[in-house]
Amino acid sequence: MTAVHRAVLEAQGPVLQFNRPLLGSGAQSDIPVVVNIFGTADRVAAGLGVTPDGLDDLGAFLAALRAPAPPDGLRDALSRWPMLKAALATRPKQVRTARVQSVVHEGAQVDLSALPVQTHWPGDVGPLITWPVVVTRPYASAPENIGSYNAGLYRVQVLDRTRLILRWLPHRGGAAHHRSWAQRNEKMPVAIVLGADPATLLSAALPLPETVSELTFAGALNDARPRLVPAKTVPLLVPAEAEIVLEGWVSSTETAPEGPFGDHTGYYNPAEPFPVMQVSAVTHREAPLYLSTYTGRPPDEPAMIGEVFNRLALPTIRAQIPEVHDLWLPPAACSYRIAVVSIDKRYPGQARRVMMALWGMLPQFSYTKMIVAVDADIDPGNWDDIAWALATRMDPARDVMVLENTPMDYLDFASPQPGLAGKMGIDATTKIDSETTRDWGKVMQTADEDRAFAETLLDRVMPELTR
């Protein structure tokens, strides 16, 4: 299934549904598997509730959430009505019954092997749940307080019929909640939502402000109040319209080796201990669908999501670093390990200041190991433009900045130490004032009148070239 999925994704093909997947036992499952829902950037935008042209407005909305300016009079307040309407739509509505609880398996009835969870790569240790929205809340918070909830996308390994392993890194919200329960030596309630609506799934992946709940923000994307229902066996509220929910408790102390699994780097990551979840109930619709994906060397669905999220993040980045003109995180570089930033350069040393600001001010760049800074006339998403800037505007002895002992994704086995590595900044901008003692070259450009003449002539004699 992974091989078929990958071939279709690389061809920018459609969403796929496998109607009779084979279980590990060899039996056929009655639960169809759906993959590739985010296989194109257009489908990611649709999942966010916008067209591709609307991504810039959504990015501006996200930037305003982080640092909202007070309305300047009634006219400005009215101009912000779409934002206010979206904020009002995030109030959750609690319901008593839900389709996701049409079928309930508790206690001895729980059997995770009945779910068509994929084993994606030949070296994977076993089945891996890849699109789980893991819902948690901190210790001593009320189950009704949705604002305290965290919904994150974490890798979930099926350990046996009733147990799972949750792989969350220490800086993620789920891990922080788990520490708050473990400090009191208490097990933590968890709900794993499988087949959440696209807005909820993408909200769980968005770098939202800590004060904004992912579950409630999905209501803003859907332009509707999210409907939540009390879980059957744990004190949590869960999305009422999901396909499947796994309820249970995560031990404060028990761990198990998670992995190895094929990862977004294109390599298998080593096995490491992570918390174990004891499943207390499985609830689902009458005829549920199981949503899945694979993670591997790009292209994959997370890389497609990253491409869209890069565009959404630009207004937030500009709000903190105004001289940033454009930014590209190449999907082939695992979507975050290399960044190319174009800037409106005005003074010496500005490129280095921007690179340091990206690493130091914005948490999402803490694992970016290389930043290339270029001028605003360079398209940061065009490798030919980048190569030309590197070849003509950069001197390795002068324009390369290397940092040591900085934070790094511990999955980067090229790092000298796990979680600690170097970073490199390359200034491929035009050198000005005190940055150089030589006369700088002048970029060649066709005159505007000559370009217009050529376009008119070609449109008349060779129109196929101008279409």
Interior angle at CA 367, CA 330 and CA 319, nearest 5: 75
Q: Identify whether 263 is a catalytic site residue.
A: yes
Tokens standing for 335? Answer: 């979507």
Torsion of CA 333, 337, 338, 344, to 10 degrees: 140
- CA 126 to chain centroid, in Å, comes to 24
Tokens standing for 249? Answer: 């408790």
Of the listed 72, 124, 160, 263, which one is catalytic? 263
Tokens standing for 218? Answer: 């999905």
Q: Please list the active-site residues.
A: 263
